């Protein structure tokens, strides 16, 4: 089995890295035995206005979940990312922007970025924005996305970014959820040469949802494409920043004041807005970025995520910029203009650290070993993976083809809820095993529990929990703290429940096995099966729907849908297509079902509960092991499901 394969740390790499194995072990030990001392010291890596005196004040007790770090300190996140670099590295490039079209790029220095952020912060204030407001961003991957995030932070507004691939309905729900008074968008975004109508989607979202809260829409001109305009509401970004001052005093924020909301999918109900606060998040994002990538001054670092996901927040913007890094921001897709694009960008900008998702690696892998052409990859030093388990074959390919057998790979396990990386190798310290996220970061105490919540020792499988708080942890669900407690702290009392299953091996390494709840992970994007189901039952011809994940060669998991039609509705290929398009337009392209099966009946218990276990097995084409079906209200539905299964191998 490939899991026995070990890639030891390169001694030369270890000798120049921030931490080697001995340092890791002693720092980890200190972080657990003396969290106050450890985080008290490392908290000073960011800029504070008023220094903190209290470090950790956290409780996972389900009757009183309360998480505070550095609670009496004050700061502004944008100061750590901008102001403090002006003197030492004002002329250094902060953001390298690489456009969708390879002929478009831009270098933005720390001084440029500072001025753009201040200008926009002033412009937002002139539009009525103030401390505590929630501002929704629905943006392409252009520098203005980072400018807008930091401008919000500067004035103490809370940003809520909605991924630009989400539908108008999904956007509307998030604008309403945050009671956002301003939406920042662009006329269109560009991906793979195709325009996506962002502003049209905003118009639809604001009209359909009857969102009274939103008074202003700020529009960045990206493509110059045709858009509708509402004079009473819409303003051009370029016009409002034109005469704004390049200085804007940063708002003084409490460490526990919110920095952003980010919606993410759970196993039940609609997506929830995770609330992240300022002090602990900034400390944790910057520290993990430095150590996981062994980031050194002058390195060029590239994370391929979108700012609409947490990876973009922590590892394109806040972490790298707090560290004074040069962070590359890519507007396009790996397959445009052709499949060698990643290699071309690495070569063009001399990238040193590269952070991407297993789904992208598997897609490249399918194109063959020469997919990156003759791109010069010799600048690469560390490779990262995030978003879903990386299968050992993809790991080996990543190591051999992109890393040229030379670069350590950091497989980083974490979640929107955790704010930053939790379990990952440190490249100078941790021997890698392909497919394992390896060991916890400083201050992180993972444990495995059985279904009753008992801690399991030694090499074993179990539910992955974290037994104590770390600074980057999400503090609540926006407007619904009870749901936060219910979702994360009530299943296994006293612990943070991750929703993932994992195995721990004899070396204490963690192997994430995937979600244990009804969340599926499609190309590294989290999706609640309940969300897709509720989109389907909103279709007039659908009576009932059940959604499960199934193994997919490139996406990791695909979306498998079972639908029961309303009485009298005929099954047809057109209707299949229509349902796929329907989900796509209700949620967004990432939710498009891969396989749809018409099911006249779903397997239910006598009390009416759908038995997903059976649906998963059929979707996996593994119906030999269905287990006990005798408790079903109507066991005969299973034969029909099997006969009409869509994933025949």
Q: Which residues bind ligand WTA (CB under 6 A)?
A: 264, 309-311, 385-389, 411-416, 437, 498-500, 512, 514-515, 521, 526
The CB-of-194 to ligand WTA minimum distance in angstroms stands at: 24
The two tokens of residue 576 are 């299949």
Specify the residue for token string 């408790």.
631
Q: Which residue number is nearest to ligand WTA in terms of Cβ?
A: 416
The CB-of-23 to ligand WTA minimum distance in angstroms stands at: 23
The CB-of-21 to ligand WTA minimum distance in angstroms stands at: 21
Q: Which is nearer to ligand WTA, 312 or 603 (CB)?
A: 312
572 is annotated as contributing to ligand binding: no
265 is annotated as contributing to ligand binding: no
499 is annotated as contributing to ligand binding: no
The CB-of-513 to ligand WTA minimum distance in angstroms stands at: 8
387 is annotated as contributing to ligand binding: yes
Q: Which is nearer to ligand WTA, 237 or 442 (CB)?
A: 442
Given a contact cutoff of 8 angstroms between Cβ atoms, the answer to whether 219 and 187 are in contact is yes
Q: Please, which contacts does 15-23 make with residues 24 or more away whose CB atoms are closer than 8 Å?
A: 16/428, 17/294, 17/426, 17/427, 17/428, 17/429, 18/290, 18/291, 18/294, 18/426, 18/428, 19/291, 19/426, 19/428, 19/429, 20/428, 20/429, 21/429, 21/430, 23/429
Strands (E), 47-154: 56-59, 66-69, 74-75, 93-98, 105-109, 134-138
366 is annotated as contributing to ligand binding: no
Give dist(CA 132, CA 538) in Å, integer: 35
616 is annotated as contributing to ligand binding: no
Give dist(CA 149, CA 160) in Å, integer: 9
Q: Which is nearer to ligand WTA, 218 or 390 (CB)?
A: 390
Q: Which is nearer to ligand WTA, 464 or 536 (CB)?
A: 464
416 is annotated as contributing to ligand binding: yes
Q: Which is nearer to ligand WTA, 415 or 597 (CB)?
A: 415
Give dist(CA 633, CA 626) in Å, integer: 16
Task: Give, for 195, the enclosing helix (H) or strand (E).
Answer: strand 194-196
Q: Which is nearer to ligand WTA, 146 or 386 (CB)?
A: 386
Give dist(CA 40, CA 317) in Å, integer: 24
Residues whose CB is less than 8 angstroms from the CB of residue 364 and which lie 6 or more positions away in sequence, other chains included: 334, 339, 342, 371, 372, 401
The CB-of-274 to ligand WTA minimum distance in angstroms stands at: 9
Q: Which is nearer to ligand WTA, 487 or 564 (CB)?
A: 487
The CB-of-169 to ligand WTA minimum distance in angstroms stands at: 20
Residue 433 CB-half CA count within 13 A? 18
The CB-of-472 to ligand WTA minimum distance in angstroms stands at: 12
Cα separations in angstroms, 86 against 96, 143, 536: 17, 18, 52
109 is annotated as contributing to ligand binding: no
537 is annotated as contributing to ligand binding: yes
Specify the residue for token string 């993932």.
500
Judged by DSSP in three states, 189 sits in strand
399 is annotated as contributing to ligand binding: no
Specify the residue for token string 């690495």.
346
Judged by DSSP in three states, 27 sits in helix
The CB-of-216 to ligand WTA minimum distance in angstroms stands at: 29
539 is annotated as contributing to ligand binding: yes
The two tokens of residue 519 are 């969340």
The CB-of-389 to ligand WTA minimum distance in angstroms stands at: 4
Q: Which is nearer to ligand WTA, 415 or 564 (CB)?
A: 415
Q: Which is nearer to ligand WTA, 325 or 527 (CB)?
A: 527
411 is annotated as contributing to ligand binding: yes
DSSP one-letter code for 45:
G
Residues placed in the known binding site for ATP: 387-389, 411-416, 500, 515, 526
Return binding residues: 191-194, 311, 387-389, 411-416, 500, 515, 523, 526, 537, 539, 542, 584
């Amino acid at each position: 089995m490939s899991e026995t394969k070990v890639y030891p740390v390169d001694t030369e790499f270890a000798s120049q890295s921030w931490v080697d194995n001995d340092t890791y072990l002693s720092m980890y030990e200190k972080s657990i035995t003396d969290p106050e001392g450890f985080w008290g010291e490392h908290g000073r890596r960011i800029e504070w206005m008023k220094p903190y005196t209290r470090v950790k004040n956290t409780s996972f007790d389900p009757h009183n979940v309360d998480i505070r770090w550095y609670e009496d300190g004050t700061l502004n996140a944008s100061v750590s990312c901008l102001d403090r670099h002006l003197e030492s590295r004002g002329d250094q490039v902060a953001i390298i922007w690489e456009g969708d079209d390879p002929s478009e790029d831009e270098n933005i220095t720390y001084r440029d970025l500072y001025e753009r952020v201040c200008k926009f912060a002033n412009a937002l204030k002139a539009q009525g924005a103030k401390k505590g407001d929630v501002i929704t961003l629905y943006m392409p991957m252009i520098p203005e996305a980072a400018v807008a995030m930091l401008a919000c932070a500067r004035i103490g507004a809370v940003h809520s970014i909605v991924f630009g691939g989400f539908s108008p309905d999904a956007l509307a729900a998030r604008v309403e959820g945050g009671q956002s008074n301003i939406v920042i968008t662009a006329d269109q975004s560009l991906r793979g040469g195709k325009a996506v109508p962002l502003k049209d989607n905003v118009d639809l979202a604001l009209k359909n949802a009857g969102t009274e809260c939103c008074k202003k829409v700020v529009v960045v001109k990206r493509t110059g494409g045709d858009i509708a305009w509402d004079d009473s509401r819409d303003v051009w970004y370029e016009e409002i920043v034109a005469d704004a001052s390049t200085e804007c005093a940063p708002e003084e924020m409490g460490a526990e004041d919110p920095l952003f909301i980010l919606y993410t999918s759970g196993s039940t109900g609609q997506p929830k807005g995770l609330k992240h606060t300022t002090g602990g998040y900034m400390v944790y994002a910057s520290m993990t970025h430095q150590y996981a990538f062994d980031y050194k001054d002058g390195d060029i670092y590239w994370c391929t995520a979108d700012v609409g996901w947490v990876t973009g927040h922590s590892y394109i913007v806040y972490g790298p910029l707090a560290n004074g890094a040069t962070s590359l921001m890519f507007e396009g897709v790996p397959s445009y203009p052709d499949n060698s694009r990643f290699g071309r960008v690495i070569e063009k900008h001399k990238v040193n650290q590269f952070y991407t998702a297993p789904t992208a690696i598997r897609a490249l892998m399918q194109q063959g070993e020469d997919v990156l052409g003759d791109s010069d990859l010799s600048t690469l030093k560390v490779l990262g993976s995030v978003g879903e388990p990386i299968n050992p074959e993809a790991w080996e390919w990543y190591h051999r083809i992109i890393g040229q057998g030379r670069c350590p790979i950091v497989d980083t396990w974490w979640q929107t809820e955790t704010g930053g990386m939790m379990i990952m190798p440190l490249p100078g310290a941790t021997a890698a095993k392909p497919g394992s996220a390896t060991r916890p970061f400083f201050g992180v105490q993972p444990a495995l529990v059985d279904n009753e919540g008992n801690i399991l020792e030694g090499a074993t499988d179990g539910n992955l929990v974290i037994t104590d708080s770390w600074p980057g942890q999400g503090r609540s669900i926006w407007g619904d703290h009870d749901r936060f407690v219910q979702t994360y702290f009530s299943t296994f009392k006293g612990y943070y429940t991750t929703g993932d299953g994992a195995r721990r091996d004899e070396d204490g390494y963690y192997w994430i096995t995937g979600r244990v709840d009804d969340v599926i992970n499609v190309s590294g994007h989290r999706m609640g099966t309940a969300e897709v189901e509720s989109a389907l039952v909103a279709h007039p011809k659908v009576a009932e729907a059940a959604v499960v994940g199934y193994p997919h060669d490139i996406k990791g998991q695909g979306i498998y849908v079972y639908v029961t039609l309303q009485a009298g509705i005929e099954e047809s290929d057109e209707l299949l297509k229509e349902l796929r398009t329907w989900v796509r337009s209700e949620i967004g392209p990432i939710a498009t079902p891969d396989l749809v099966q018409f099911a006249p009946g779903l397997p239910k218990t006598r009390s009416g509960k759908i038995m997903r276990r059976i649906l998963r097995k059929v979707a996996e084409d593994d119906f030999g092991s269905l287990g006990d079906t005798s408790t079903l209200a109507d066991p005969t539905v299973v034969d029909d499901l099997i006969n009409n299964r869509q994933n025949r191998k």
